[in-house]
Amino acid sequence: MAPRSTKRSGVLELAILGLLDQSPMHGYELRKRLSGVLGPFHTISYGSLYPCLKDLVARGWLVEDGEGEAGGLSGKRARIVYRLTAEGKEQFQQLIGEAGPDTWEDERFGVRLAFFGRTEASVRMRILEGRRSRLEERLDTLKQSLARSRERLDSYTLELQQHGLDSVEREVRWLDELIATERSSDRAENSQTSTTTSHTTKKSGTPSGQPVTTSSGAGTYPTAHGE
């Protein structure tokens, strides 16, 4: 298992690539936008942000562009604007195509959800179902632990344990709703595609039963933290 610091670094890289895939930004604006993707409780310091940006530039995924002129009467330095390169865009597409166990974990799930609008439908479903499975395992563990230790806990610790249990149960219900919505959208899209194909077949005279290739597009989802 990768060290926690490595996981956090990977999450920050993904968030930066995803935001810069939307538009170029300078460091100050990027830091503000990261709070919307990572959440208000994940404060990113400049001491974490700029080394990460420099590393992404060194890998060829970002380039630095000067905004304004340095020096002059104001004596101010030009602001550096960070822009995604073609290699950076390719890397971002590769990252949002992943749906393995790491994407189900607390550290990465929120940022992946923030970019669901640019993620393939099949990948979204695997991540949602994987996250739900992971939380159901956690829920069983919490229930067993609470049942074994209930008699030994004081009222405050018991309330804390119950609060954690309730939080996981709420997220499982929320995931159930997201998965149901995803499946409903997929059925509606398939139905619409089938109807369109049927009309096209009748107009063009395509023989009935000829295979037709369809593809699913990415839907629009709220971010994990309301962005």
Sheet of 25-26, strand order: 25-26, 79-84, 62-67
Question: In this predicted model, what pLDDT tens digit does every residue of 2-34 receive, in sequence order?
Answer: 555 556 678 999 999 999 999 999 999 999 999
Confidence of residue 216 (pLDDT cuts 50, 70, 90): very low
In angstroms, the CA 49 to CA 13 distance is: 9
In angstroms, the CA 36 to CA 171 distance is: 19
Question: Domain 4-69+77-97, what fold?
Answer: Arc Repressor Mutant, subunit A (1.10.10)
Q: What pTM was computed for the model? A: 0.75
**Confidence (pLDDT) at 194:** 62
pLDDT at 211 over 60: no
Tokens describing residue 59: 């890998």
Q: What is the mean pLDDT of the chain?
A: 82
Q: Helix 106-114 and helix 27-38: axis angle, to 10°?
A: 110
